Amino acid sequence: MYSIFQPFDFKNQFVDLTINQEIWKESVNNFFIHALDDKTINLQLPLPPHKKTVNDFFIVTDGYAKRQVGINAYEIHKNELLIVPQLQVSTTDFYSENIKGFYCHFSDDFLDDNSLLLNWKLKNCYLNKIIIDNDRTERICQLLIIINEFYRKNWGGNKKLIAQYLRTVISEISFQKTEINIEKISKKRDITLSPKENRSKVSQTKKIEEKKQKYEQIINIFTVKIL
């Protein structure tokens, strides 16, 4: 039997913090973010296998980490992201000294049970770890830098803004997961597709790419306005 932790209780046992304690106490059961190279936060690694009442994701831009989700062990390197849905057994074993990136967790309630979260809860073990292209990694990290600033400066006053930006991050991750799914399914089907089906597939791929480009333009404009 694995222990199920509220984030507040988990912190008290396994995490040493020197950041603003009041912000942390008010937010942690619903939301928390930190840069992986932030020396004010120290995990007592390795962590024991456990379940948490929040979803989390972990994106690496330099160095690497070792984590486990269920029975699957992962090394997360540059331009890779690991998703851990709520109540999933997980642990963290190791951070390299040069690790950079972000850890973020959030409750379903914080995002008002956003429909995109359903995709996180599906039993697709091979999608826990995602390889992300350079451009998307940069966009996600730009958003997370802004979220982290909002969180540290004024958590109480910035909750709605943080949730709005976080929904955009979840959308980016979901787009990447969708592309991976399409690629895997396509590779399986390419062998048996007729010429007519292949033409249809090319047309569908083109439409998806056009939607993706429009979405990315919107995200870039939105980010530039804030910065």
Q: What CATH number does residue 207 fall under?
A: 2.60.120.280
Tokens standing for residue 217: 């333009």
Q: What is the pLDDT of residue 174?
A: 83
pLDDT of residue 148: 96
pLDDT greater at residue 93 or residue 117: 93
Place of tokens 């509220």: 6
Strands (DSSP E) found in the chain: 4-5, 15-17, 31-35, 41-43, 51-52, 55-62, 65-69, 72-76, 80-84, 90-95, 100-106, 129-131
Q: What is the largest CA-CA distance in the chain?
A: 63
Opening angle at CA 27, ends 23 and 32, nearest 5? 100
Structure-model confidence comparison of residues 20 and 100, the more confident one: 100
Share of the chain above pLDDT 90, in %: 45
- Are 76 and 28 contacting, i.e. CB atoms less than 8 angstroms apart? no
Window from 19-33, 83-97, 131-145, 153-167 with minimum mean pLDDT: 19-33
pTM over 0.85: no
Residues sharing a CB contact under 8 Å with residue 165, sequence separation 6 or more, in sequence order: 143, 146, 147, 150
pLDDT single digits (tens) 50-83: 999 999 999 999 999 999 998 899 999 999 999 9
Q: What is the mean pLDDT of residues 84-99?
A: 93
- Count structural domains, the chain: 1
The one-character DSSP state at 50 is: B
Mean per-residue pLDDT for 176-194?
53
- The C-alpha torsion from 154 through 159 and 164 to 170, rounded to 10°, is 100
The reported pLDDT for the residue numbered 67 is 95
The pLDDT of residue 159 is: 94
**What residue numbers bound the domain in which 39 lies?**
4-226
Q: Which three-class secondary structure state does DSSP give residue 92?
A: strand
Parallel, antiparallel, or unpaired: how do β-strands 72-76 and 31-35 relate? unpaired
pLDDT tier, 91 (very low <50, low <70, confident <90, very high otherwise): very high
